[in-house]
Amino acid sequence: MSHTARKFTTDAKRVITADVGFWCAGIKADPVFMEGFSPSVFTERRYLVVNEHLQLRGYPNIFVGGDVTGLEEEKNAAHANSHASIIIQNVVRQARHRPLLAYRARPEPVDISLGAWDGIIALPPFILPGFIAGIGKKAVEFGALARLRY
> Containing H/E element for 78?
helix 77-95
Q: Maximum CA pair distance of the chain?
A: 50
- Cα–Cα distances (Å) from 119 to 73, 123, 141, 146, in that order, read 22, 13, 13, 21
Counting residues of the chain whose pLDDT is more than 90, the rounded percentage is: 32
Q: From the CB of residue 65, how many other CB atoms can be counted at a distance below 10 Å?
A: 21
- Whole-prediction pTM value? 0.65
Q: What tens digit of pLDDT does each residue of 115-148 get?
A: 878 888 887 788 888 888 888 777 877 776 676 6
Q: What tens digit of pLDDT does each residue of 91-116 get?
A: 999 999 999 999 998 777 777 778 87
